[in-house]
Amino acid sequence: MHNRKLGRTADHRKALLRNLATEVILKGKIETTEMKAKELASVVDGLITTAKKDTLAARRSAAAYLMPITAKDGKTAVQVLFSEVAPKYKDRNGGYTRVTKTYVRRGDAAPMATIELV
């Protein structure tokens, strides 16, 4: 599988994807550029697949990747992933996210898209 570089260094790219993945899990839907959304889809799908195992190792793996951000209800992203998101997809084999093209951003003409949990 070929990863998109997104015009960033490896550290910056990893931090960007960690932040975006955390926001998708907490909010369910975000808007970003099309290329970031396409790259993020595989990251979020992998996290949900890991969370479906619901083991301590899976929980630690997700906690190591996701940012320590809390939602409005006081739950962390890891808690939301394991208690709300993963059980929703227990009978589904992959394809947990949907990327929808929206518009072209004024200013730099970047194609925008929304990524959401199906």
- pLDDT score at 89: 95
Q: Would the pLDDT of 17 be above 60?
A: yes
Maximal CA-CA distance, the chain: 46
Per the structure, the complete domain to which residue 57 belongs is given by: 10-117
Q: Is the pLDDT of residue 1 over 60?
A: no
The yes-or-no verdict on residue 2 having pLDDT over 80 is: no
User: Does residue 3 lie in a domain region?
Assistant: no
Amino acid at 60: R
In a domain, 29, yes or no: yes
Work out how many domains the chain is built from and give that number.
1
On whether residue 1 sits in a domain, the answer given is no
What pLDDT score does 103 carry?
A: 97
Model pLDDT for residues 65-109, shown as the tens digit of each residue: 999 988 888 999 999 999 999 999 999 999 999 999 999 999 999
> The domain that contains 58 carries what CATH number?
3.90.1030.10
- Residues 77, 39: Cα–Cα separation, whole Å: 20
Rounded Cα distance between 70 and 73, Å, is 8
Q: Does residue 82 lie within any of the structural domains?
A: yes
Q: Which of 18, 41, 99, 70 is CA-nearest to residue 49?
A: 41
Report how far residue 22's alpha carbon sits from residue 24's, in angstroms, rounded to the nearest whole number.
6
